[in-house]
Amino acid sequence: MKLLFSSKNTGAKELLSILPKGILPTQFNDYKFKGSVNAELSINGISSKTTSPVMAFRFSIDKTDIVPDNAQYSIHNVATSGFFTTKKSDKNPVSYLHLQNFTALLENKPIKADIEIENFTNPYYIITAEGELSMASLLKYVAIDTLETASGILNIKGNFKGHAGKPNSYTSSGYLQAKAISFRLKHKPVDFKNFNGSFSFNGNDVIINSLSGDAGKSTITASGSIKNLYAWILQKNQRIHIDGNVEAGFLDLNELMQSDNNTDTTTRLDFTDDIELDINLRAQKAVFKKFTAEQISGSISLKNKVLSTNSIRFNAVDGNVYLQGSINANKPDSLLIAYDADVKKLNIQKLFYEMGNFGQGVLTDKNLRGSVTSAVQFASVWSKQLYVNQDKIYATADITIENGELINFEPMLKLSKFVKGTDLRNIKFSTLKNNISISNQKINIPVMEINSTALNITASGVHTFTNVVDYKIKMRMSELLGKKVKNLNTEFGTIEDDGMGHLNVFLSMKGPLDNPKFSYDKKSVEENITKSVKEGKDTFLKIIKDEFKKPEEKKKPEEKKQEELQLETDE
């Protein structure tokens, strides 16, 4: 075959409609053309089951409009000369398109370009572009799945070369300026407004010289680089890596993480696996739910859907905090949150309030006062809607509480029936130290001493998230009596100090907190009552034990009741 067709001032729509399928890229099917074309088509070669003739298409257009399918807008006054062939050369037998001196008006803003595409199956691009682009107009022609609306201006001048399948081949140079860019992401209620920035093209990367704008109530400025950007745009299964510095005057994380998806109206935390981050962060203030942090500094990294915070420091609840940890979102329906923290001089009431009492209702912000210093190791599993799995909360904490108060703490109120002469509704203490652990919905409290204004006790035990307790309590009877008080009224009668020495009371407190059972701690009896007590003391102990029996127990001596209190004498 050796054929030549030529036409002048032919309708672009009509001309393109008669071209065989496969000559033009499939993307051309989504556009309509209004205008005339000067064209020349040649077909040269053998046509058989194994070979096809070479087709070459030369064209020039002037004052043509390109309209996306089913749309009323268009690119106006398109002018260009071009060449397309199914075989560039004998040495390089691939399809080839070259658009020269492309000019047009997009929403009355001029654009210029020179485009070469070699091999549409596995493209190699050479692109030079210059123009002023409206984001709203660009979005009409280039579908971006994540964007709902966009406005503002992009000024661009640059060039790009590269093979679509070989990121190492990409080279670029030039710049991009963003002016008053505003946009809204799909399924996000946050409006991103007034973003201005300056970018440079360098190889396969884009350098962020400066970027600033508002994300809802949050104000952000940034600089850095976006690596592997072109590969991420042109190929599947590619990742971009963003390095940079981010500063914020204010960050509202509640707003930034919220979704307006009709099927998901709650806050949701998840990470994409095609974006990696290494960010140095500084923020004057950030809020998340009830928690507020100020003067934040540190670094954040995201890789393989794991967000790591490195050396994060901030001020919160009247003290300061150091954090090191990660949020792992690899599982489709859950988050693993693990952190080490050093906190100093935090207001413990504010801390418990702003952290939602750490997902438990045993010891809350209503029960606590004072400042806490602690080294904490914490791990937990959450849903991606940020609801904690209470079965999977694990923590250990070396805690020091200074100038503390326990206010209306239920275990103490239950204990008060044994010491009616002492008010346990508000217990003040100067310093309390302990190592608390949490696992299996249980707060495990090792032995600790509470030296307070109300009384001095030694206690240990377990308190579950469902308010079931198992406490061991040791109280010195002489301190319960007071230095000047000789008599003390109790539920079981009046105890008198006979001057024979200090007596320690051992209690076991078990069961639901609203109705616990008190009894002797018999193990403590075995371990702590000495064999060398004097006979007088033994007599006194027996009297005390008898007095602490309930009246109905005295009436039924034949029934063996568990003793209510254990008394220990000091050597």
- Residue pair 55/78 in contact (Cβ under 8 Å)? The answer is no
Widest pairwise Cα distance in the chain = 129
pTM exceeding 0.75: no
**CA 359/CA 338 separation, integer angstroms:** 15
For residue 502, which amino acid is it?
A: H
Is residue 271 predicted with pLDDT exceeding 70? Answer: yes
pLDDT given at position 116: 94
The closest of 285, 336, 341, 339 to 315, measured between CA atoms, is: 285
Is residue 567 predicted with pLDDT exceeding 50? Answer: no
The closest of 96, 65, 98 to 79, measured between CA atoms, is: 65
DSSP string, 55-83: EEEEEEEEEEEEEETT-S--EEEEEEEEE
Across the range 474-483, mean pLDDT stands at: 56
**CA 75/CA 137 separation, integer angstroms:** 9
**CA 267/CA 385 separation, integer angstroms:** 6
Across the range 66-79, mean pLDDT stands at: 74
The closest of 362, 283, 338 to 316, measured between CA atoms, is: 283
**CA 294/CA 280 separation, integer angstroms:** 16
pLDDT digits (tens, 9 = 90+) for 500-528: 445 567 778 888 877 788 776 655 544 54
pLDDT band at 493 (very low <50, low <70, confident <90, very high): very low
Region for residue 310 given its phi and psi (left: phi exceeds 0; alpha: psi -120 to 50; beta: otherwise): beta
Q: Which residue has the higher pLDDT, 521 or 350?
A: 350
**Following CA atoms 16, 21, 23, 27 in sequence, which dihedral angle do they give, to the nearest 10 degrees?**
80
pLDDT digits (tens, 9 = 90+) for 444-462: 888 888 777 666 778 888 8
Is residue 569 predicted with pLDDT exceeding 60? Answer: no
pLDDT given at position 419: 61
The least confident of 263-272, 315-324, 384-393 is: 263-272
